[in-house]
Chain A
């Protein structure tokens, strides 16, 4: 009964490949996020979806395409993987009413290694 679950936890792939990371939340939240944590542990927002609508796209390359089939899922597809894409990707979810008062719950992260 994990609240926010991501699959896979680890992903090793070659440059140029296309891969997807799946995220599901069972908290009834209406907003989901993708964050990227680089090798220096810096966490940065990539995308935010509210009720399946894209709210934030933080200058992420077009090779990254989020897909939200419903409010409980937000998947991340990455085309033509590059070495610089190696990082830990976190999915998160929360309620959002425009005030910022709700806590975000994070998944356990997916460590992506591009070789």
Chain B
């Protein structure tokens, strides 16, 4: 079974600063996909970024980037130039069962302060 662990229940960062959210996972599979989803107070689940395990290059999407360490089974999210609109729950997720279910971590609540 795959497990996803987010060890930081809550984090806070000032506007314009950089913050890193941690995620580790456990799997015996060699090829898989990892995702970060954002859930703002509106409740909508929004895909932030994703990483294919067979790609060594870390994914980036504008201010969002990941540090993917396959051997260490680590997948952290870095948010640069934090904005007030980044305040949300962030979920790390692992795609298991050949694409038929996302396995989520417990989430990190991020607060961006002025």
Indicate, yes or no, whether A interacts with B. Answer: yes
| A interface list, Cβ under 8 A from B | 31, 33, 35, 40-45, 48, 50, 55-56, 58, 88, 90, 92, 94, 96-104, 106, 108-109, 111
The chain B residue sitting closest to A98, CB to CB, is: B98
Best-surrounded residue of A92, A103, A104 (most CB of chain B within 10 A): A104
Is B14's beta carbon under 8 Å from chain A? no
Question: Which B31-48 residues sit within 8 Å CB-CB of chain A?
Answer: 31-33, 35, 39, 42-45, 47
Is B78's beta carbon under 8 Å from chain A? no
Expressed in whole angstroms, the Cα–Cα distance for A34 and B107 within the complex equals 19
Identify the 9 closest CB pairs spanning chains A and B, nearest first.
A100-B95, A100-B99, A106-B45, A45-B101, A43-B104, A48-B100, A96-B99, A98-B98, A55-B100
Q: Which bracket fits the contact residues of B?
A: 20 to 34
Residue of A44, A88, A97, A104 touching B43 (CB-CB under 8 A): A88
User: Are A99 and B98 CB-contacts (below 8 A) given A88-B43, A90-B45, A109-B43?
Assistant: yes
A-B contact pairs, 24 of them (CB 8 A): A31-B99, A35-B102, A40-B106, A42-B104, A42-B107, A43-B104, A43-B107, A45-B102, A45-B103, A48-B100, A88-B43, A90-B45, A94-B99, A97-B99, A99-B33, A99-B99, A100-B33, A101-B52, A102-B99, A103-B35, A103-B50, A106-B45, A108-B44, A109-B43
Is B91's beta carbon under 8 Å from chain A? yes
Residue of A33, A40, A106 touching B44 (CB-CB under 8 A): A106
Cβ of A101 to closest chain B Cβ, rounded Å = 6
The chain B residue sitting closest to A55, CB to CB, is: B100
